[in-house]
Every structure is written in structure tokens, then in C-alpha cells.
Amino acid sequence: MKNDWMDSMSDNDVSYTIEEVASLLKVSKLTVYDLIKKNELPSYRVGRQMRVDMKDLEEYKERMKTGGNIKVPLSQKNIHKIQQESFVISGQDLALDLLAKQLEKGEGSLRPLRVYSGSLNSLISMYNNQCDLVSLHLFDGDTGTYNIPYVKKILTGYPFIVINFLSRWAGLYVKNGNPKNIKGWADLNREDIKIINRERGSGARILLDEQLRVHGIKSCEVNGYYSEETSHLTIASAIAGGKADIGIGIEKAAKIVGVEFIPLIKERYDLVLIKREENKDIIRKIKDILSSEEMKKDIHLMGDYDMTETGNVMYETF
């Protein structure tokens, strides 16, 4: 038997998360965010979560069934929903949530939307105009540098700017006490060692693949290469749980989970934005945020980040 409050609910009271909308429409979250950015699907924020009303979703579906030709009158509620400019931020580091929070403050109508995709996947999404800001930690084995070689190749034809967000140590997670005496990349193809890998398109996966190439190790020689997890924390947890001997990730996750960490490379974590006329104020605001004492203090409190180059422009097309 339904409760009285449930009986009194109308369709107008029902709303969905972005994940639920993506599942109902059988599309990706980025596609839903794109609909929101184009004001084709009204949305609003409840705390840190975006919501879409059932009525608005049904109206969108009806428009699509008729080729998008039916114009549905906007209620005052929906007019308010679309007044804010959506700004999609793609990347996985927790520090990006701090940046999103700062972007939402102050004057203006910017509404940050977070997508938790890996570096290479995020950059490809930017090329396809599906996100506005991406964070990268992509190692290039030929130059020994981070990010710029990939941005130049993938964002061909786009004017862009690369701004440093922070730096952090990347390396190997191993069991506490390092019982197999693992020292570095050259140990990856030992017969007595099993790794657990990150998903394709993530910065950690690119780092591993580039190091294998540089060290002349074939992926088929690496035990566990095709076993994947989707975050630094799940990789570190897999090592803690004895599922593998080695995982690739950043120092912070090792401390959170409580596994041993072997630092091997200081990676640069950069932000990339397309330079458009409508982005000038946003780029300026991001530079101001990154140079602010409040932002630096918040990142410092998270620990394990180097902010020596935070806010510096690493590369810019003209």
C-alpha cells in the first residue's frame, strides 16, 4: 500500500539524475550534458547533483519523435533553468571538484558540470565539442614530456591554451613491505609478478604503455595487462586486497588506501581550454582562481600536490 505522500506526488514532482537520464535515453552522460548545454533539456542543481524533471524529459522525447519540430512553451520554471551557462569539466582528480566549486562562485551564471573521464578520452571529447575544460596527465615517451604533444595532435585546427593545475608523483603501488622487491618499470614483465591495469584512455594507462614501449617490453609479456580498474583508488585497493602485485597510479591514492608506493615520475597535471571569443572571460576567471590564495590553500590541505607551476601557461596558440 502506498504512503499518502507518494499518492499525492504527480509526474511534475519526479526528477532524474544525469546518470538516470543517460540510461533512459541509452546515451552517454556527455551526450546528456551536451543537450543541457544547448538548452534542449532543462536541468537544475540539487546540492552537487544535476537533476532533470520527468516532465521535461518527456517533452524532449516528444520533440525528437516529431523531428524536433514541436516547440514546447517554456514555463517560468524552465526559463530559470536555462539561464545559467553550462560548463562541462572532464577529468578525475578530486582537485577538479575544488575548481568547479570556485567557478560557480561570484558573479555570472556559470554552471559547472563534472564528467569523470580519463585524460585521453577527455581530450577526444573536447575535439568533438562535448566538453569545455579537460585535465590531462599524458606522458609522451619520445620527448619525456607531458600533455603538449597529445594536445597538438588531437586538437588540430583548434586554438587552445594549456594551463598548469598542479604536479604530483606517479609510480607503482605494491604490497606493504614490498615482498617481491619491485623497483621500477623493468620489473613489469617478471614471471612472478602480476599487474592490474587502468582502462584505455586514462593517463595512467598511457603512462604504462609508453614506459613499456621505452623499455622494450611487449604488453603480451606482462601478466595481468588486460585486467582493468577505472580509478587510482580501485587500483590501490586491488593491490591491498591481494588481487595483483603491481598497480600504476598516483601517490595520494596509496596513502588513502594504505599500500606502499614507489614514486617513479613527477607528472604535470594541466588544464586545457579551447580559445573562443565566448571563453575569454572564463579563461581569465580560471587564471584568477588558480592564482588565488584560497585555491592554493584548499589544494595544499588535500596534500601530495606540488603547486610550483600552478596557474602558469604551459602552451598557447595564437
Taking residues 205-211, report their average pLDDT: 98
Q: What 3-state class would DSSP assign to 44?
A: strand
Q: What is the pLDDT of residue 220?
A: 96
Reduced to 3 DSSP states, what percent helix, strand and coil does the chain have, rounded to the nearest 5?
40, 25, 35
Q: What 3-state class would DSSP assign to 244?
A: coil
Q: How far is CA 60 from CA 31, 39, 71, 82, in A?
A: 14, 11, 10, 14
Min mean pLDDT across 85-99, 172-186, 194-208, 236-250 is at: 85-99
Q: What percent of the chain has pLDDT over 90?
A: 65
pLDDT at residue 69 above 70?
no
Cα 170 to the center of its chain, rounded Å: 17
Q: Which three cell numbers stand for residue 267?
A: 607528472
Sequence-distant (≥ 6) Cβ neighbours of residue 309 within 8 angstroms? 164, 167, 268
Sequence-distant (≥ 6) Cβ neighbours of residue 210 within 8 angstroms? 139, 140, 141
Structure confidence at residue 65 as a pLDDT band (50, 70, 90): confident
Taking residues 123-142, report their average pLDDT: 95
Better-predicted residue by pLDDT, 262 or 21: 262
Taking residues 168-174, report their average pLDDT: 97
Q: What is the pLDDT of residue 202?
A: 96
Q: Pseudo-torsion of CA 124, 130, 133, 136, nearest 10°?
A: -20
Residues 281, 103: contact at Cβ < 8 Å? no
Structure confidence at residue 12 as a pLDDT band (50, 70, 90): low
The owner of cell 577505472 is: 230
Residue 174 phi, psi dihedral angles, 5° rounding: -135, 165
Better-predicted residue by pLDDT, 314 or 51: 314
Better-predicted residue by pLDDT, 214 or 108: 214
Residues 101, 188: contact at Cβ < 8 Å? no
73-100 burial string, b = 16+ CB within 10 Å, else e? eeeeebeebbebebbbbbbbbebbebbb
Taking residues 158-179, report their average pLDDT: 97
pLDDT at residue 61 above 90?
no
Structure confidence at residue 76 as a pLDDT band (50, 70, 90): very low
